[in-house]
């Protein structure tokens, strides 16, 4: 039986090449077309020497496929995707172009008028832990951003179960690959190495995405979220530390409350193949190269606050891996197919 | 005129050797004695090849000096210092043994009964930006911890001026040298490299120190501080991100409020030689090897929160540099003597 | 049909845990027993949170298996292995204890008298590219050292084909994981980070191993090999730069000679699944986490010298991956089984 | 008395800004003018927040100064310098434009016809350890390249004393700052981090410079030098490992020969303030941020080869520090003025 043909639009960025790595090892689909503007005409495995021989040439336009991933930058991604949707293709979009339900958010946060608000209503937010069933029947899946993946997975159980009040602070620490493969002084080795810094203090584009999803989990609450991203000198990984006041009376005092909290999280994620709720603070290193998310919920008893820490690989669970997880759901494959690789430690 | 003779107890840890680096380049004092247990008998500049020829041999016990620095671990430091105080020596203690005013804090946080509560009341907390005059006449200065230095400097103006409410969250990101020169799996290269993690979620020993000092700045308030330290893969540096709700009505709305905030911080630190209040988020790299602290206060207008970010070199302003700044004050020297070196960027 | 049961002696070092990562994802064998001295009694996947749930407890002594890997330090490894060989088990030894044919080399280089010189003669050096057929029928395979793997693969075609004279210089640059998981000041993060240094100038233990194998490829020559290893601040990877004088008349002048050289190398390795001879200098990053070795042979026309550069992941092709490759050969499985993972780039 | 006014052409690259750091802390000169093309009009200390307040604005053209440093790229540097020389200014050129004595080398290695071969004959190669007296009276000093500084200092005593034969191999490992501040995929953080690679196998531009200087030390010999540079993941530092056959009969056998070698090196550099000949292999980290060069000569007794290892900070002794050392000589100042800073370890 012929394998499903899949393609990648813009394979030359880090999300694109990570998709290529995963898909060319995937046992149930065949990567048959990849595009890239400046690299068009080159052999994929010359361009990326770590890939195995696929025989693929990087093309200027996508060839015939059954399902397409778009790893284009936002705004351009929508333009690539709309005609594919028109033709009836299944699409997983790595960009932000179909994540936000409110078209005005695109004007405010991304600086462009969304070209197809109607399609926005049909797109499904591709976080399997929250929208598994909808993803299975979606034509267009909007793959979550890297920071939102870590933040939403850290907070979803607490928000959903009404454990915390609305004052949420999310402090995230990202590796540099999250800033992409395009050249920039900020990500020049000599500038980023041996440095930690915060950025986007005026508001990062992932804030409306985090806010949208947490509000959907607790529609009656009026969340006040501060989200500050930081760059840390490593290639891959996001560690998210989330803080919120615990609602009194929901958890027992002391040690017992911590156990209840851990159990509540474990229960929430009990059927999730890629979520590991752990009893000690996670290390980004333990998720390196894998689709896993490690989560540790804790209580600051002195102040009555919840502190939850999550770790992911921003290019896998935070981008390409999650997109393949979505693809598996769309195609009716076992959700973990092609994603079983364990983290490469140390 | 003979230079003041200074000595370092336990020169072989990172705070100790950083003291040696600064002191052997200091124009007004003479480093005349250094101690170290396992290394006793070795030449200082064989043991640390980056130092210049001092002719000093690492000794088992401190020779005759006019002023001593102790870079011993806590609990042992007090034991070394008490007889020196008895003899009338001036002492700057890098350890935590004389930082906390309440002797019970040592029982609770450090697990030992403080051996000299009376001396605790005489020790001065060595943060020149808050206690300059007291330091000048102190016999014993308790040099602040690395995290407290970054956190207190970030928050002092806001707390002192009553800008913020009591719900404070401090999220700090430290380089690995803060964990010392003693071997440990956590700081084994292969474990710490390419990793970010949180630790001490149950309460870090620097929390009572931060709390004590911020409360002294606002005695009537009941602060509720959550402090979570993180390890990041770099040798030096601490970036602290502090969050707190702004009291309404203190600052103007919008852009104007930000200017007022920046001016308030600049005014607070206007005579400080080592504090640089800046209009953009700081980078730890810009303080590397220097005694500077860069601070950027900002407003999250969506939620009405203050976000302040500070950057220091944990071994200089966070340890040895600040100790020398204290020494300069004690000896009546210009405060910046021997500390003028700019950060080594990139 | 029951899978072959395999076990790991000393799973808690980096070679051991890397074996565990590969073996617990291997489709044709079952990891059924792992040992570790200090960690005995703990669950394997608590001890190493990046591993998946194996249900295995770390034991003090190896349980019943069909094939064992020893990741013990040298000298101790032989002691563990001898009784297993006696019992008829197949064994792959990651240590150096059965790599050298001449028992006197153990006295000279490792400081102990080899306990079983007879077994030395039966052990097969586990470099499949040179000894594939012998490995298939071996009871005991001595897995090559990390540096020798990179150096021998770089030089084997040139030595075997008589391209070069005997004056060989091998300059290797290793990531820090090669130094193991045991604590050491050299591999303390703060010491190894942002540092490059050479070591073992008096003679590294991998020199007799490299010499033995290159001499076997060219028995009549009298090789004079200088090998200097270096530590570089990264977790994984070895880049080896090998220099030797070209014998005149073997290769054409200029560009044509380079093509002949490239073809000679490609031809030598034409059936090798894990060797990639490339036309540009390799990057260790492109082999990260994979069993591949990338090799680039070049000519310094000004001096008539061969310069060959090879890149491997020291923990995979340089240790655990190659050991599993050997196991596949011993068990009659396709050689690449469980080792197909591509490098994780970037 | 008015301080000597000095200026920097192209302050915005890494050599330029490192000059600014050193010069604005120099007690005997005044930095009065800095230029930079894209940054013209900005305040120097806004552009580089680690610098102290100089009051300088980055200009498009150099203001009036007594001595100028050019940190322009090659070819452009000569164009900037020629009119200054015409006007009688003293100039230290960080670029390669006046290092090579043979004008044809510029055509061959740099791809341009040298605009002023006559000036080439007047320029002095600015390695104080070899040309101190000439530098003192030079109008134009050509500051050595970073790799040549490490390589020549490592080999000069051996070449000068006739210890070695002509077959020299130089394997250098550089930090990434050597590649400059201009953006490039090779020095993009995510590409350079956790990677070691060789480059310029066809011949690096520093080869003719190394060859020229070593030949001048041994005019009758016909050196055959292979030089291969490597990139290693750190910000600063070059470790050079040089290999050459020892001429028989020059040094005693065994341990005694090593002592003779060490003494010969120590004697050669006995009056040098920045050269430290050491008895153990050097670490780049021990020279970080300083003008020191650490050198360790050793013997590979098995093969009769000399192995010399040198460590420098490529931006200090390999660029800006050495340029200031030259300036001190030109101005008749003590050679170490403004360069006494010890390395910042760890």
pLDDT, tens digit (0-9, with 9 covering 90-100), for C2-28: 899 999 999 999 999 999 999 999 999
> How far is residue C99 from each of residues A92, A97, A261, B232, C90, measured CA to CA in Å?
51, 58, 53, 40, 16
Provide the chain B residues 282-301 that lie in CB contact (below 8 A) with chain A. 282-285, 288, 296, 298, 300
Distance (Å, whole) CA D129 – CA C88: 66
pLDDT at D1 over 70: no
The pLDDT of A179-200, averaged and rounded, is 97
> How far is residue A317 from each of residues A57, C40, C292, measured CA to CA in Å?
27, 33, 25
Beta strand extents in D101-255 (DSSP E only): 124-125, 140-142, 167-174, 197-198, 224-231, 238-245
Q: Do C345 and A283 touch (CB under 8 A)?
A: no
Query: Which tokens hold the place of B78?
Result: 């007090």
> How far is residue D314 from each of residues B136, C229, D180, measured CA to CA in Å?
41, 22, 11
The pLDDT of C64-72, averaged and rounded, is 98
DSSP assignment of A313-343 equals -TTIIIIIHHHHHHHHHHHT--TTTT--PPP
pLDDT, tens digit (0-9, with 9 covering 90-100), for B166-194: 999 999 999 999 999 999 999 999 999 99
pLDDT number for residue A1: 66
Nearest to C234 among D201, D230, D233 (CB): D233
> How far is residue D315 from each of residues C55, C193, D144, D170, D323, measured CA to CA in Å?
53, 18, 12, 20, 10
Distance (Å, whole) CA C38 – CA A341: 28
β-bridge pairing A275-277 and A293-300: parallel
> How far is residue B32 from each of residues B44, B336, C29, measured CA to CA in Å?
11, 21, 65
Question: Which is nearest to B281 in space by CA: B316, B311, B302, B315?
Answer: B311
The pLDDT of B296-319, averaged and rounded, is 98
Instruction: Tell me what the pLDDT averaged over chain B comes to.
Output: 97
Nearest to B190 among C185, C190, C235 (CB): C235
Report the chain D residue with the minimal C-alpha distance to residue C254. Answer: D202
pLDDT number for residue D108: 97
Q: Residue C261: count other Cβ atoms within 10 Å of its Cβ.
A: 24
Chains in contact with D, where contact requires at least 3 CB pairs less than 8 Å apart: A, B, C
Report the chain D residue with the minimal C-alpha distance to residue A177. Answer: D190
Provide the chain C residues 234-253 that lie in CB contact (below 8 A) with chain D. 234-237, 239, 241, 243, 245
C162 touches chain B (CB under 8 A): no
C40 touches chain A (CB under 8 A): no
Domains and CATH numbers, chain A: 4-144+318-331 (3.40.50.720), 147-314 (3.30.360.10)
Chains in contact with A, where contact requires at least 3 CB pairs less than 8 Å apart: B, C, D
β-bridge pairing B4-9 and D90-93: unpaired
The pLDDT of C79-83, averaged and rounded, is 98
A278 touches chain B (CB under 8 A): no
Name the maximum alpha-carbon separation found in chain B.
64
D191 touches chain C (CB under 8 A): yes
pLDDT number for residue C1: 66
Backbone torsion region of residue D12, taken as left when φ is above 0, otherwise alpha when ψ lies between -120 and 50, otherwise beta: alpha
Question: Which is nearest to A183 in space by CA: B282, C286, D189, B194?
Answer: D189
Provide CB contacts within 8 A for A305, sequence distance 6+: A243, A244, A245, A246, A299, B169, B226
B195 touches chain A (CB under 8 A): yes
Which pLDDT band, with edges at 50, 70 and 90, does C91 fall under? very high
pLDDT, tens digit (0-9, with 9 covering 90-100), for D299-339: 999 999 999 999 999 999 999 999 999 999 999 999 999 99
> How far is residue D90 from each of residues C330, D85, D87, measured CA to CA in Å?
73, 7, 9
| Residue bearing tokens 């990260």 | C288
Distance (Å, whole) CA C144 – CA C160: 19
Q: Do B286 and D50 touch (CB under 8 A)?
A: yes
pLDDT, tens digit (0-9, with 9 covering 90-100), for A87-111: 999 999 999 999 999 999 999 999 9
Beta strand extents in chain C (DSSP E only): 4-9, 29-35, 58-59, 67-70, 90-93, 124-125, 140-142, 167-174, 197-198, 224-231, 238-245, 275-277, 293-300, 305-312
> How far is residue B106 from each of residues B4, B101, B205, measured CA to CA in Å?
33, 9, 9
The neighbouring-strand residues paired with D141 are D92, D124
Question: Which comes out higher in pLDDT, residue D52 or B307?
Answer: B307
H/E element, C254: helix C254-268
B254 touches chain A (CB under 8 A): no
Which residues of C are annotated as catalytic?
146
Chain C interface, best mutation among B189, B194, B319, B344, by max C CB count within 10 A:
B189
Residue A196 in contact with residue B239, Cβ under 8 Å? yes
H/E element, C325: helix C321-331
The pLDDT of A162-189, averaged and rounded, is 97
The pLDDT of D130-150, averaged and rounded, is 98
pLDDT number for residue B1: 66
Which pLDDT band, with edges at 50, 70 and 90, does C62 fall under? very high
Name the maximum alpha-carbon separation found in chain D.
64
> How far is residue C327 from each of residues C25, C269, C288, D257, measured CA to CA in Å?
14, 21, 21, 47
> How far is residue C45 from each of residues A270, A340, B219, C42, measured CA to CA in Å?
18, 16, 49, 9
Nearest to C198 among D226, D228, D309 (CB): D309
H/E element, D290: none
Residues composing chain D? 346
Distance (Å, whole) CA D203 – CA A270: 59
Distance (Å, whole) CA B336 – CA B170: 29
pLDDT, tens digit (0-9, with 9 covering 90-100), for D31-45: 999 999 889 999 999
Contacts of C237 in chain D (CB under 8 A): 194-196
What SS3 string covers D41-90? Answer: CCEHHHHCCCCCCCCCEEECCCCCCCEEEECCCCCHHHHHHHHHHHCCCE
> How far is residue B8 from each of residues A126, B69, C60, C309, measured CA to CA in Å?
59, 5, 46, 48
The pLDDT of A112-140, averaged and rounded, is 98
B184 touches chain C (CB under 8 A): yes
A228 touches chain C (CB under 8 A): no
ipTM: 0.97
Query: Which tokens hold the place of B229?
Result: 């330290």
Query: Which tokens hold the place of A35?
Result: 């595009």
CA dihedral of residues B31, B32, B37, B40 (deg, nearest 10):
120
Query: Which tokens hold the place of B288?
Result: 């590397």
pLDDT, tens digit (0-9, with 9 covering 90-100), for C276-295: 999 999 999 999 999 999 99
Distance (Å, whole) CA B13 – CA B246: 41
Q: Do D50 and B340 touch (CB under 8 A)?
A: no
Distance (Å, whole) CA A69 – CA A323: 8
Which pLDDT band, with edges at 50, 70 and 90, does B2 fall under? confident
Residue A345 in contact with residue A288, Cβ under 8 Å? yes
DSSP assignment of D16-45 equals HHHHHHHHTT-SSEEEEEEE-TTTTTSBHH
pLDDT number for residue C105: 97
pLDDT at B43 over 80: yes
A47 touches chain C (CB under 8 A): no
Distance from CA of A188 to the nearest CA of D (A): 5
pLDDT number for residue A177: 98
Q: Is residue C118 helix, strand or coil?
A: helix
pLDDT number for residue C2: 84
pLDDT, tens digit (0-9, with 9 covering 90-100), for C295-343: 999 999 999 999 999 999 999 999 999 999 999 999 999 999 999 999 9
H/E element, C280: none
Distance (Å, whole) CA A145 – CA A100: 11
Catalytic hit among B44, B146, B316, B330 = B146
Beta strand extents in C111-249 (DSSP E only): 124-125, 140-142, 167-174, 197-198, 224-231, 238-245
pLDDT, tens digit (0-9, with 9 covering 90-100), for B142-162: 999 999 999 999 999 999 999
β-bridge pairing C305-312 and C293-300: antiparallel
pLDDT number for residue A296: 98
pLDDT number for residue A52: 84
The pLDDT of C212-217, averaged and rounded, is 98
> How far is residue A60 from each of residues A40, A63, C38, measured CA to CA in Å?
5, 9, 57
Instruction: Tell me what the pLDDT averaged over chain C comes to.
Output: 97
Q: Do C346 and A14 touch (CB under 8 A)?
A: yes
DSSP assignment of B267-310 equals HHTTT-SSEEE-SS--BGGGGTTSS-EEEEEEEETTTTEEEEEE
Question: Which is nearest to A227 in space by CA: A216, A238, A235?
Answer: A238
pLDDT at B217 over 70: yes
């Amino acid at each position: 039986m012929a394998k499903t043909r899949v393609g990648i639009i813009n394979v030359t960025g880090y999300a694109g090449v990570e998709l290529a790595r995963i898909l060319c090892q995937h046992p149930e689909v065949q990567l048959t077309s990849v595009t890239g503007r400046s690299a068009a005409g080159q052999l994929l495995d010359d361009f990326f020497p770590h890939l195995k021989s696929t025989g693929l040439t990087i093309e200027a336009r996508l060839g015939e496929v059954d399902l397409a991933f778009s790893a284009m930058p936002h705004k351009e991604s929508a333009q690539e995707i709309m005609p594919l949707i028109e033709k009836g293709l299944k699409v997983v979009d790595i960009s932000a172009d179909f994540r936000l339900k409110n078209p005005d958010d695109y004007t405010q946060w991304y600086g462009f008028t969304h070209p197809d608000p109607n399609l926005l209503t049909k797109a499904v937010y591709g976080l399997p832990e929250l929208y598994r069933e909808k993803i299975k029947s979606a034509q267009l899946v909007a793959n979550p951003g890297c920071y939102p993946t870590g933040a939403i997975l850290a907070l979803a159980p607490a928000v959903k179960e009404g454990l915390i009040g609305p004052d949420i602070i999310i402090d995230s620490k990202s590796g540099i690959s999250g800033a992409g493969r395009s050249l920039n002084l900020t990500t020049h080795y000599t500038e980023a190495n041996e440095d930690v810094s915060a950025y986007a203090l005026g508001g990062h584009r992932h804030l409306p995405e985090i806010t949208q999803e947490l509000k959907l989990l607790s529609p009656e609450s009026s969340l006040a979220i501060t989200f500050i991203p930081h760059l840390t000198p490593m290639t891959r990984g996001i560690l998210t530390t989330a803080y919120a006041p615990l609602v009194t009376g929901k958890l027992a005092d002391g040690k017992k409350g911590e156990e209840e909290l851990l159990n509540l999280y474990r229960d929430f994620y009990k059927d999730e193949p890629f979520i590991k709720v752990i009893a000690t603070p996670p290390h980004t290193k333990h998720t390196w190269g894998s689709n896993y998310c490690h989560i540790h919920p804790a209580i600051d008893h002195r102040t009555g606050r919840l502190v939850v820490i999550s770790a992911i690989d921003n290019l896998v669970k935070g981008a390409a891996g999650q997109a393949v997880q979505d693809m598996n759901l769309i195609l009716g494959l076992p959700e973990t197919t092609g994603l079983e690789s364990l983290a490469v430690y140390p």
